[in-house]
């Protein structure tokens, strides 16, 4: 009998290591690449004008013939959000996703008008998928969205398990975590465990969804006026809890925000959100009910300027305006970098007379869906891996998860704290470091797959921080002299009210150009001269480095 050829298996992340979000993990041998999750990261104010940050797909493009399948663990945006961009970059033969995630993906692809690009196959914990030499199976976990799974990848070189996002909730809203199945996987033997680290800094157990519901119920019971709850549209479990509590207190529910409306519609169709039809009203019908009978469910918990809550706070929503006595609940923790935007919205709401709640258990939504340290220990004990790679977390989270694993007896030499692009190689049951793959960030402006370069992002930061100056100079090319004087246009640096500085700067530019025209020169040298003179003057006066745009108009 011919002996099977060994094909070492590489494991690496294109996103999700050293950060929360942008999850994309790859398992690859010489003939096959399978991908686990394809998510976005939501940018803060340090990325002006950017809607999403997604992984760089260069390595996958260079190996496009090897890409055989994408497996999705659950339907949150940091795990499915970059699928539209991935499908426009390379061909993915098949996407395997749980039922709810599958519906959310299809809806997103319809928005981008690329639904015909995708072959989506639903899976549950009974399904097994054979992809070349890889066999993939699944186990159900509990998280803050229904239909969340961990993934098992059996290879000839060893077994790889990815935990997915999870917490061990014994009183969940939906189906139970499959602890027995997880114990069986561990008993059969796990070579390498990839386990999420988002809440590795929190000791103990993450509160059960039952505890969260009790907090929601208390808030609704004690609110005397209208109640406005803002959360991510993908947090289906939270939306179900809010709706259930609202119905129990005889409040009508107005759903605001396109993504929220679609998420509720899909989840109701699938039976994940249970709300009687007569409990949901249109926003224009809110005025027909007393304030104590109204709950408004909306997007905008991150302070996004175009989201529903920001438009309500600024008075720009056509149907809903804040009135004294309104209670506003932020049901999501701040994404790093969004604190300023959230504070601005909170201040607008408070000025309008609303009571804003930001310090309830609801506000820590991201942590409340993720395993705390005791649950991470539980996962490690159940799986009992020989090798361990912490995933999905900032570096300090990965480091703390590493310490947890060591305390449980995992050999420190068998634990790999990696950065995006770093590779470990599994061969004949042993894991070692490999060569890095190409990786990085891709910045998405709107829905355009043509990503912005880092230089463009830097220019936007400069415009935001230091402003812009355009300087126009007219030249008579035949006589080699200036026509008139330099014209100065500026935004955010030298305003029109500061005539003294404007005259000083244009005078310096006039003198420099006239002197330069006495010698042999060209337009490129003149533009560089304008940049140097203007840049030196502005920095000396303001300590700013604005974008300087020289414009030369020639008369022949």
Interval 24-43: pLDDT, tens: 999 999 999 999 999 998 77
Residue 30: per-residue pLDDT: 94
pLDDT recorded at residue 95: 97
Helix (DSSP H) and strand (DSSP E) numbers for the chain:
16, 26
- Banded model confidence at residue 302, pLDDT cuts 50, 70, 90: low
Q: Answer yes or no: is pLDDT of 161 > 80.
A: yes
Range with lowest mean pLDDT among 234-248, 346-360, 513-527: 346-360
Q: Residue 355 forms beta bridges with which residues? A: 327
Q: Check whether 230 has a pLDDT greater than 70.
A: yes
| Cα 174 from Cα 208, distance rounded (Å) | 12
**Measured distance CA(141)–CA(148) in Å, rounded:** 6
pLDDT for residue 20:
86
Burial degree of 248 (CB within 10 A; 0-12, 13-18, 19+):
exposed
What integer best gives the mean pLDDT of the chain? 87
Provide the Cα torsion 139, 143, 146, 149; round to 10°.
-20
pLDDT at residue number 367: 43
Rounded to 5 degrees, what are φ and ψ at 50? -95, 130
Confidence of residue 59 (pLDDT cuts 50, 70, 90): very high
pLDDT tens-digit map of 79-116: 999 999 999 999 999 999 999 999 999 988 998 888 88
Angle between the N-to-C axes of helices 373-383 and 179-188, in degrees from 0 to 180, rounded to the nearest 10: 50
Give the pLDDT confidence score for residue 2 in this predicted structure. 44
> What global pTM score does this model have?
0.80
Domains, in order of start, for the chain: 9-204+369-444 (3.60.15.10), 209-363 (3.40.50.10710), 467-555 (3.10.20.580)
Residue range 262-297, pLDDT digits in tens: 889 998 988 888 899 999 999 989 999 999 999 999
Give residue 455's pLDDT. 61
Amino acid 1: pLDDT: 36
Q: State the pLDDT at residue 366.
A: 43
State the pLDDT at residue 150: 97
Q: 441 with 55: CB under 8 angstroms?
A: yes
């Amino acid at each position: 009998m011919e002996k099977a050829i060994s094909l070492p298996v590489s494991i690496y992340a294109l996103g999700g290591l050293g950060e929360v979000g942008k999850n994309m993990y790859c398992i690859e041998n010489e003939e096959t690449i399978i991908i686990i999750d394809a998510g976005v990261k939501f940018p803060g104010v340090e990325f002006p004008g950017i809607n999403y940050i997604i992984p760089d797909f260069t390595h996958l493009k260079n190996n496009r013939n090897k890409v055989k399948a994408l497996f999705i663990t659950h339907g949150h945006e940091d795990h499915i959000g970059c699928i539209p961009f991935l499908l426009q970059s390379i061909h993915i033969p098949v996407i395997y996703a749980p039922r709810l995630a599958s519906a959310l993906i299809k809806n997103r692809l319809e928005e981008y008008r690329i639904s015909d690009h995708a072959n989506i196959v639903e899976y549950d914990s009974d399904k097994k998928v054979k992809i070349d030499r890889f066999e993939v199976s699944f186990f159900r976990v509990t998280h803050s969205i229904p239909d969340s799974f961990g993934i098992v990848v059996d290879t000839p070189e060893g077994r790889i398990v990815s935990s997915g996002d999870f917490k061990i909730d014994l009183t969940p809203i939906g189906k139970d975590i499959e602890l027995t199945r997880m114990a069986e996987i561990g008993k059969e033997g796990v070579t390498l465990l990839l386990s999420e680290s988002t809440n590795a800094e929190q000791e103990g157990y993450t509160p059960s969804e039952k505890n969260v519901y009790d907090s929601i119920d208390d808030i609704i019971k004690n609110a005397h006026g209208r109640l406005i709850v803002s959360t991510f549209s993908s947090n289906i479990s939270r939306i179900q809890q809010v709706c259930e509590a609202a119905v129990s207190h005889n409040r009508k529910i107005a759903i605001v925000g396109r993504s929220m409306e679609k998420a509720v519609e899909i989840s109701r169709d699938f039976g994940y959100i249970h709300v009687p039809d007569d409990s949901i009203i249109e926003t224009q019908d809110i005025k027909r009910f007393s304030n104590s009978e109204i709950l408004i469910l909306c997007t905008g918990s991150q302070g996004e300027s175009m989201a529903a809550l920001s438009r309500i706070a600024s008075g720009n929503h056509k149907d809903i305006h804040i009135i004294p006595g309104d209670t506003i609940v932020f049901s999501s923790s701040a994404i790093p970098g969004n604190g300023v935007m959230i504070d601005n919205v909170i201040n607008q709401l408070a000025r309008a007379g609303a009571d804003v709640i930001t310090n309830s258990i609801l506000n820590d939504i991201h942590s409340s869906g993720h395993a705390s340290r005791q649950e991470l220990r539980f996962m490690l004990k159940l799986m009992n891996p020989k090798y361990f790679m912490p995933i999905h977390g900032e570096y300090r989270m990965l480091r703390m998860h590493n310490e947890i694993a060591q305390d449980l007896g995992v050999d420190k030499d068998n634990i790999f704290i990696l950065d995006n692009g770093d590779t470990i190689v599994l061969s004949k049951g042993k894991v070692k470091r490999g060569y890095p793959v190409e990786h990085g960030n891709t910045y998405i402006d709107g829905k355009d797959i043509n990503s912005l370069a880092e230089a463009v992002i830097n220019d936007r930061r400069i415009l935001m921080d230091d402003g812009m100056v355009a300087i126009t100079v007219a030249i008579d090319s035949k006589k080699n002299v200036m026509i008139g004087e330099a014209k100065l246009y500026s935004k955010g640096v030298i305003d029109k009210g500061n005539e003294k500085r404007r005259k000083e700067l244009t005078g310096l530019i006039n003198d420099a150009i006239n002197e330069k025209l006495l010698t042999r020169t060209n337009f490129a040298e003149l533009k560089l001269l304008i940049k140097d003179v203007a840049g030196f003057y502005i920095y000396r006066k303001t300590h700013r480095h604005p974008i300087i745009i020289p414009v030369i108009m020639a008369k022949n």
